[in-house]
Amino acid sequence: MKNMYVIPLLYRISSMHDHISITRLNHALQSVITKHNILRTALYIDDTNGHITQHCLDAKIILDGHIKSYGLTILNIHNDNHRHMAEMVKEILNKADLFDLSKGRVIRCHILRHYHQSQDCISYENDDLLSENDHILISIHHAMFDGASTSIFLHDLSLAYQSDDSLSMDENTLNYIDHSVHEHVMDMSLSREFWHSQLERYNIECSLSLPVDRQRSSTNQQRSGLASIAEIIFDNELCTSFL
């Protein structure tokens, strides 16, 4: 997968009796993005000082229907083959323009809907509904999202969908960006003194032979395949001592 920093959330409608409204899902997604400003945050390098800048976009921006960054993309699938579905998901996740951190484009939602010839004349009401074996793919950039965020995101998305209303927002809630700002104004004098004392006799010129990341060629993404395996055996006596 070319997008190494994408966290995909893929869900399948498993029952023919369960239907998901695309319109309500879109409103729920916008409500979650409005509540969690990290999902509408841009990261870019400031040309004046070379610093990475974090900027939260105005919540009203996602209500603009002309901005596709926060909308749903609906893909009609004419092939019921599971392998074809997997290939489509892989193709979406590998798109070079899936995200744009500089513009706050950090979350995308794709609807993969099975579409048959007999559905050409279905009503608009039914056309808005997802049915059995349709898929919802939500892709979020890892700079804004991690595994611990999943339960929070899904809880709020479910709540917004069921209520079909905006989520309540507390302007006094502390966010990570608040902590980041606080870190920049903290007095680090004691910390600097501590580390200077710890490194007082260390030879700065003598570098450690540690493995480092190397820039990969944009055309050659193949990994080396080299690996090593270490086996450690704990006997019963040692395991008991851990308890």
pLDDT digit string, tens, across residues 118-157: 544 444 446 888 988 899 999 999 999 998 899 999 999 9
Q: Is the pLDDT of residue 209 over 80?
A: no
**Predicted pLDDT at 122:** 44
Residues 6+ apart with CB under 8 A from 161: 24, 25, 28
Average pLDDT over residues 68-79: 76
Mean per-residue pLDDT of the chain: 81
Q: Which of 1-5, 142-146, 197-201, 233-237 has maximum average pLDDT? A: 142-146
The CATH code for residues 6-179 is 3.30.559.10
pLDDT band at 228 (very low <50, low <70, confident <90, very high): low
Q: Is the pLDDT of residue 80 over 80?
A: no
pLDDT band at 107 (very low <50, low <70, confident <90, very high): very high
How much is the CA Rg of the chain, to the nearest whole Å?
24
What residues does each domain of the chain span? 6-179
Burial of 207 (0-12, 13-18, 19+ CB in 10 A): exposed
Q: Is the pLDDT of residue 242 over 90?
A: no
The residue whose two tokens read 């003194």 is 193
